[in-house]
A and B are shown apart, each in its own frame.
Chain A
């Protein structure tokens, strides 16, 4: 094999592609990986090239795919690798892919929105239920909460109307119940006491189960508070204070019976809502399944499509003959393969005239091509790190395969260390194909 010792012979060729079959020809050539295309439109900006619309469409599809992938990741699913090697899609298929992906994205968005709103409502209802249940404890207690110890008219509004106010105060006890973040409880209590000293009785109790905080999403044990007060102004003050502390306030019905009623109503509402939420979650899981199934293939397909259009952008359009001309660097050995690929491409797109390739003499230096297998590729890349050899220059890589480890070993000069490294390398070589190692998607 002479090709590792010197770079291969490469020639310049021109491809004449029919505009109808250009796409499938380039797709065929791309699958075989044979050519390097030269840019024939260097002075044209990317926005003025012929196929810029298609490239933009591919990029939009890629954006939808990223969104879908993010959603999958949020739901904790992992996107598997693409099972087979799909080819670039034709125009009809591409349209279908685009439509389907957008539809799935739309569905996903709607369903997640519904789910969040359902969850929010459920949480509200459950909080209310807890508030009522816990509040029962305090309001079912006898008199002390209801009657003030010294019925002095201390409200600032009406200092004079003492007797009637006293009667009024005895009867009208108002309640305010709500939920507050546990860290704010002491400050809240202190502020309430300072603002409405003596006119209210506040009791705090922790919720029996932790619930999600809507803002941060973490699970916190909220604190239920029940304030009984009298006087309208006090009520307004308390309301303002609880607004400042971002408490969730719920209406607390006065009589025992209405409380019971509300509780049963809440129970049934929570039950219904939970069923609906369950179904929504199931539907969401189904949609995510569909996405996970289809996404890897779509990704690869769209990538290939975009690459093809980028290459088509590099060709020059020969308007008189209605064909595209591409200039490529092609290894001489593969010219027949290129012709074969072009024939396949024209056949697939169903055009009658075949595209062909023609070799063109040139005085420029072609690019260096060195074919490597997976063993020699590592050493070739080490040598290339110092500089790529010019065209048909002697390639030092085959000699470096031995001398590089040899000099390395001379540096170390230690049999034990050498033995350990040898064993490690042996393990890596033997377990090269182990599925666990194949799962890694990074370069290492």
Chain B
């Protein structure tokens, strides 16, 4: 699978949590617990999506990179394709 950069993960996760928070509430059967279940789905989607998004955006501009020794750097440069 080609490396699609950042677009693929963002698209997948947004669609997934969008379905959970936006589509599933319409599919919950009518009953006394409908309100609670809808609240649960929406809060869950918002919480988990935000958590994931913040984590991945923070990793795009890291504070520091991996701490490698000189030997490892040389090996990476000459022996990896």
Chain A residues in contact with chain B, CB under 8 A? 1-2, 4-5, 373, 376, 398-399, 401-403, 406, 410
Contact = CB atoms under 8 A, between A and B. Distances in A.
A401 B47 contact: no
Interface in B18-72: 32-36, 39-40, 43-44, 47-48, 51
Given A401-B43, A403-B43, A406-B44, 16 more contacts: A1-B32, A1-B34, A1-B36, A2-B35, A4-B36, A5-B35, A398-B35, A401-B36, A401-B39, A401-B40, A402-B39, A402-B40, A402-B43, A402-B47, A403-B47, A406-B47
A123 B32 CA distance: 70
Nearest to B51: A410
A376 B33 CA distance: 10
Contact of A376 (B36, B43, B44, B51): B36
B7 to A, nearest CB: 26
A5 B51 CA distance: 25
A407 to B, nearest CB: 9
B41 to A, nearest CB: 9
28 contacts: A1-B32, A1-B33, A1-B34, A1-B35, A2-B35, A4-B36, A5-B35, A373-B33, A376-B36, A398-B35, A398-B36, A398-B39, A398-B40, A399-B39, A399-B43, A401-B36, A401-B39, A401-B40, A401-B43, A402-B39, A402-B40, A402-B43, A402-B44, A402-B47, A403-B43, A403-B47, A406-B48, A410-B51
A398 B44 CA distance: 12
Nearest to A401: B40
A410 B54 CA distance: 13
Contacts of A401: 36, 39-40, 43
Interface residues of B, number: 12
Nearest to B41: A402
A-B pairs, 5 with minimum CB distance? A402-B43, A1-B35, A398-B39, A1-B32, A406-B47
Contacts of B39: 398-399, 401-402
A406 B51 CA distance: 10
Contacts of A5: 35
Contacts of B33: 1, 373
Nearest to B45: A402
A401 B40 CA distance: 7
B59 to A, nearest CB: 15
Contacts of B43: 399, 401-403
B38 to A, nearest CB: 9
A293 to B, nearest CB: 40
A4 B39 CA distance: 11
Contacts of B44: 402, 406
A410 B48 CA distance: 11
A230 to B, nearest CB: 97
A403 B39 CA distance: 11
Contacts of B51: 410
Contacts of B35: 1-2, 4-5, 398
B24 to A, nearest CB: 14
A413 to B, nearest CB: 11
B47 to A, nearest CB: 5
A5 B47 CA distance: 19
A410 to B, nearest CB: 8
Contacts of A398: 35-36, 39-40
A162 B73 CA distance: 123
A249 B58 CA distance: 94
A258 to B, nearest CB: 90
A262 B43 CA distance: 91
Which of A1, A376, A403, A410: most chain B Cβ within 10 A? A1
A135 B48 CA distance: 90
A55 B27 CA distance: 54
Most buried by A among B36, B39, B43, B48: B36
Contacts of B48: 406
Task: Indicate the member of A373, A402, A403 with the most B CB atoms within 10 Å.
Answer: A402
